[in-house]
Amino acid sequence: MQTELTDIPERAAAFVRSGGVVAFPTETVYGLGADVFNADAIAKIFEAKRRPADNPLIAHIGNLEQIGTLAVRTTAAADLLIDKFFPGPLTLVLEKVAEVPLIATAGLDTLGIRMPSGELAQRFLQACGTPVAAPSANVSGRPSPTTWEAVFEDLNGRIDCILKGDPTEIGLESTVVDCTEDVPTVLRAGAISIEDLRLVLPSIRLHDHSDSANARSPGMRHKHYAPLARVVIWDRNVEIFEQISAAFIGLKAPTGNVRLEKICDSVEEYARSVFAFFRECDHAGIETIYCERVGEEGLGAALMDRISRAAER
């Protein structure tokens, strides 16, 4: 398959309208989208990414009215979150309508819904004229793509089109909140932090991911975000001895020598850079990536979640 590269959102949207799959930028990471109501098109997403069929997709919307075409109802809690955080890096899980095919939700009767805030994403979604089901646009298990070049590296020749935009602003995937029960639960940490959410919904809970019998977010079970290199979470004050095949990313240079180093000015910059740095390390043949531990407040919780998962293997 020939993959078309374009920076015109209307052109990329035409592929979605005719049942194709298109990568597009959002403020979090690039997504790989298809018409949420077209089961055949959605099957192509799973195939292109080699995504396990038990991992549900998020429906991306271009206007708030589309929520009514996807969810049976919203809840009072969901309405508060929509009011405060849409458009933005927040996904709400709601009870889905029958028209959304089960392949999109991996057989679940619930659906994740999100309205991205990026300007190009909005223009693209509006031109699609339909909600767009999209996971991150990486091959399953690999770091999520924060540049169109990363999408190209993973998916060139396997999808119809890449809508080229700037590197993504946030760099980590959206916060996922399950709103199907009385007390909403955070299933995945993201740039909308638990502290932000508590200001609107003081009773919101954090999902216990160690309780696998109760895996409400199936995607969290799968291996994730992994570069080829081994990822090690690094605590300041541990010396990294001269290592020719090691790399470091964090807020302050370590003592000792590594081959590749990315020192970030803030946790925001660290989050924005980490997935691209993982890919850069793979290109350079790095064997071990030391990632500095950060405090788990605000965006730090999402960043620690992603590097901890990358370190699991």
Please tell me the distance from the alpha carbon of residue 212 to that of residue 178, in angstroms, as a whole number: 16
Residues engaged in binding Mg ion (CB under 5 A):
136
Q: Using the rule CB under 6 A, which residue among 176, 192, 201, 304 binds ligand TXA?
A: 176
Closer CB to ligand TXA, 192 or 246, in the complex: 192
Residue owning tokens 């909403």: 184
Closer CB to ligand TXA, 26 or 193, in the complex: 26
By CB under 6 A, the residues from 19 to 38 that bind ligand TXA are 26, 28-29, 31
Closer CB to Mg ion, 32 or 201, in the complex: 32
Tokens of 20: 């194709």
Q: Least distance (Å) from ligand TXA to the CB of residue 125?
A: 11
Helices within the chain (DSSP H only): 9-17, 39-49, 67-70, 76-85, 119-128, 148-155, 194-200, 267-283, 299-311
Contact call for residue 218 and ligand TXA (CB under 6 A): yes
Question: Do β-strands 175-178 and 185-188 pair in parallel, antiparallel, or remain unpaired?
Answer: antiparallel
Please tell me the distance from the alpha carbon of residue 120 to that of residue 23, in angstroms, as a whole number: 12
Q: Least distance (Å) from Mg ion to the CB of residue 10?
A: 26
Which residues in 248-267 are b (16+ Cβ under 10 Å) and which e?
bbbeeebeeebebebebeeb
Strand order in the sheet with 260-263: 230-234, 288-292, 246-250, 260-263
Query: Looking at 134-142, 145-153, 233-241, 252-260, which segment touches ligand TXA (CB under 6 A)?
Result: 134-142
262 binds, among ligand TXA, Mg ion, none (CB under 5 to 8 A by kind): none
Burial of residue 69, with CB atoms counted within 10 A of its CB: 0-12 exposed, 13-18 middle, 19 or more buried = middle
By CB under 6 A, the residues from 44 to 63 that bind ligand TXA are 55-58
Contact call for residue 267 and ligand TXA (CB under 6 A): no
Contact call for residue 193 and ligand TXA (CB under 6 A): no
Closer CB to ligand TXA, 181 or 238, in the complex: 181
Q: Using the rule CB under 6 A, which residue among 67, 134, 271, 291 binds ligand TXA?
A: 134
Contact call for residue 131 and ligand TXA (CB under 6 A): no
Please tell me the distance from the alpha carbon of residue 186 to that of residue 299, in angstroms, as a whole number: 14
Contact call for residue 219 and ligand TXA (CB under 6 A): yes
218 binds, among ligand TXA, Mg ion, none (CB under 5 to 8 A by kind): ligand TXA
Strand order in the sheet with 161-163: 4-6, 161-163, 22-24, 31-35, 132-134, 58-60, 110-114, 90-95, 175-178, 185-188, 205-206
Q: Are 139 and 49 in contact (CB under 8 A)?
A: yes
Q: Report how many residues bind ligand TXA under the rule CB under 6 A.
A: 30
Return residues touching ligand TXA (CB under 6 A): 26, 28-29, 31, 55-58, 89, 91, 93, 105, 108, 110-112, 114, 134-136, 173-174, 176, 187-188, 216-220
